[in-house]
């Protein structure tokens, strides 16, 4: 039988649930009861019940604390949250910890029963509930069978559903929506019903979100992967056009002539044409039709063109957060590209080298703060030297670039955490400085030949 934990600091609620739910009908039994969070915490760790019905507010540990603990430790326990109206928005945060659902007090038993059935279906092999980590990994590898299984287990249609995303510290969509964490302050949302743009401005004006994307069309499981990538880019559209903080259109920059002209000029390494076109792009109205993804491609296309950039620039952009953190606007980004192209013929200072004092200080900073979103500019500021100078001299001293050294360090520590802890893969990606979950999956597999979950399972 499925073992159930009831945890609430009101004994009457526990007794009421024990008496008014026909547990045997669902092949379940109330095996454990707790009157506070501390007792519940001990039971969960020691007994690992199949289902835990937790009050959101309890002495010792709250229901949210316990949900987070279960999630981070990869425990099998399925969680249902009980909350009073006053704690409703607080309870919604539990969505990021794979909580199956939450019920408002006074308790409606039919509502709890529906969630119990859902929990049992998820536990049962037929339900085959995947962890959120596994779901995101399935998206990255485009494993349609696993995607469909996970969506079906969360009552989502696999033939027609809708997608949104937000840059926010916690999920903003909740009721009737499946939320998943895709990176640092980045959430995706799936729903059987369309998302409506009207009424979402409050999330922007209140500061709860800095960018919201509503994908413009309905999706099926086959189109989910690319649509998620596009939606994440849409969240950053205000970097391109400050007036667009809620984006419901994906901009395909291939149709913008001036962007195509720049790409053509790059293919022929025609510096004069690239410089001229970049200056035109800065004042062109078509600039607002670019996506942050196309801007990232443009930046990297220039920085990796060794004919145009001869000083082995170490400013390659790996994700949108890095891009929007380096520059305050698209205009500043374009100005920086023009400056780099204009100065690229300048030779580095002859015989320049990093003194042991500066080098040790740089390495100490990197090894201390690699878990943060640090850049070459941050390192240069520490020793009060020019970033380009640091980039060239770092490679001369170490034989590798700053960016590769930082990535190597992060991957090595991610490998250690995968083997030595039970932290979720999403948590590990954040702890090692990767603020984009999908980028972490890509780069980890590139370095090790395995996905993080494969690496963890084969090493045991």
Cα 292 off chain centre by: 17
Q: Please tell me the pTM assigned to this model.
A: 0.68
Q: For residues 34, 107, 153 and 418, what is the CA-based torsion angle, rounded to 10 degrees?
A: -30
**What is the predicted pLDDT for the residue at 183?**
87
| Domain locations along the chain | 2-123, 132-247, 253-343, 356-459
CATH level 3 topology of 2-123: Rossmann fold (3.40.50)
**What is the predicted pLDDT for the residue at 85?**
62
- Give the separation between CA 173 and CA 199, rounded to whole angstroms: 12
Contact 411, 443 (CB under 8 A): yes
- Give the separation between CA 117 and CA 4, rounded to whole angstroms: 12
- Give the separation between CA 262 and CA 290, rounded to whole angstroms: 13
**What is the predicted pLDDT for the residue at 366?**
92
Dump pLDDT digits (tens) for 157-179.
999 999 999 999 888 876 678 88
Per-residue pLDDT 10s for the chain (460 aa) are: 899 999 999 999 999 999 999 998 888 999 999 999 999 999 999 999 999 999 988 998 999 899 988 887 778 899 999 887 666 666 666 666 778 888 888 888 888 998 898 888 777 644 344 567 778 888 988 889 888 888 887 788 999 999 999 999 888 876 678 888 888 889 999 999 999 998 888 899 999 999 999 999 999 999 999 999 999 999 999 999 999 999 999 987 766 889 999 989 998 889 999 999 999 999 999 999 999 999 999 999 998 888 888 655 567 788 898 899 889 999 999 999 998 888 765 544 444 455 677 888 889 899 999 998 888 888 888 888 888 778 878 888 888 888 899 999 999 999 999 988 877 888 899 899 998 889 899 999 999 999 998 888 776 5
**What is the predicted pLDDT for the residue at 345?**
53
**What is the predicted pLDDT for the residue at 127?**
39
- Give the separation between CA 47 and CA 128, rounded to whole angstroms: 22
Instruction: Say which CATH class 356-459 falls into.
Output: mainly alpha
Q: How many CA atoms within 13 Å lie on the side-chain side of 232? A: 23
Question: Among 294, 201, 290, which residue's Cα sits nearest to residue 240?
Answer: 290
- CA-to-CA separations, 444 to 296, 415, 440, in angstroms, rounded: 21, 9, 6
């Amino acid at each position: 039988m499925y073992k159930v934990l009831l945890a609430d600091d009101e004994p009457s609620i526990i007794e009421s649930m024990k008496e008014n739910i026909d547990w045997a009908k669902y092949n379940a039994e109330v095996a454990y009861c707790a009157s506070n969070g501390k007792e519940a915490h001990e039971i969960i760790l020691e007994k690992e019940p199949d289902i835990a019905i937790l009050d959101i507010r309890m002495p010792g540990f709250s229901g949210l604390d316990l949900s987070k603990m279960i999630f981070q430790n990869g425990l099998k326990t399925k969680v249902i949250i009980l909350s009073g109206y006053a704690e409703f928005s607080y309870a919604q945060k539990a969505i990021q910890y794979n909580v199956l659902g939450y019920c408002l007090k006074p308790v409606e038993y039919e509502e709890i029963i529906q969630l119990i059935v859902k929990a049992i279906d998820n536990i049962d092999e037929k339900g085959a509930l995947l962890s959120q980590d596994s779901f995101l990994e399935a998206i990255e590898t485009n494993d349609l069978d696993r995607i469909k299984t996970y969506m079906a287990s969360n009552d989502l249609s696999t033939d027609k559903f809708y997608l949104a995303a937000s840059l926010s510290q916690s999920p903003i969509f909740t009721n009737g929506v499946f939320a998943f964490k895709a990176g640092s302050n980045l959430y995706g949302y799936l729903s059987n019903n369309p998302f409506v743009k009207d009424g979402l401005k409050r999330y922007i004006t209140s500061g709860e979100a800095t960018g919201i994307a509503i994908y413009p069309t309905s999706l099926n499981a086959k189109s989910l992967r690319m649509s998620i990538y596009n939606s994440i880019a849409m969240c950053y559209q205000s970097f391109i056009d400050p007036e667009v903080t809620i984006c419901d259109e994906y901009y395909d920059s291939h149709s913008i002539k001036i962007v195509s002209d720049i790409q053509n000029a790059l293919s022929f390494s025609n510096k004069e044409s690239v410089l001229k076109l970049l200056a035109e792009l800065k004042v062109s109205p078509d600039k607002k039709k670019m996506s942050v993804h196309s801007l990232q491609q443009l930046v990297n296309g220039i920085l990796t063109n060794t004919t145009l950039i001869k000083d082995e620039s170490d400013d390659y952009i790996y994700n949108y957060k890095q891009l929007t953190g380096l520059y305050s606007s698209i205009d500043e980004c374009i100005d920086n590209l023009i400056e780099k192209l204009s100065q690229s013929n300048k030779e580095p200072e002859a015989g320049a080298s990093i003194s042991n004092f500066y080098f040790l200080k740089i390495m100490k900073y990197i090894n201390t703060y690699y878990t943060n979103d640090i850049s070459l500019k941050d390192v240069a500021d520490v020793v009060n030297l020019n970033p380009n100078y640091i980039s060239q001299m770092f490679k001369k001293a170490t034989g590798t670039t700053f960016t590769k050294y930082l990535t190597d360090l992060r991957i090595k520590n991610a490998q250690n955490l995968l083997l030595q802890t039970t932290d979720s893969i999403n948590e590990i990606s954040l702890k090692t400085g990767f603020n984009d979950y999908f980028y972490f999956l890509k780069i980890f597999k590139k370095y090790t030949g395995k996905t993080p979950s494969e690496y963890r399972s084969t090493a045991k």
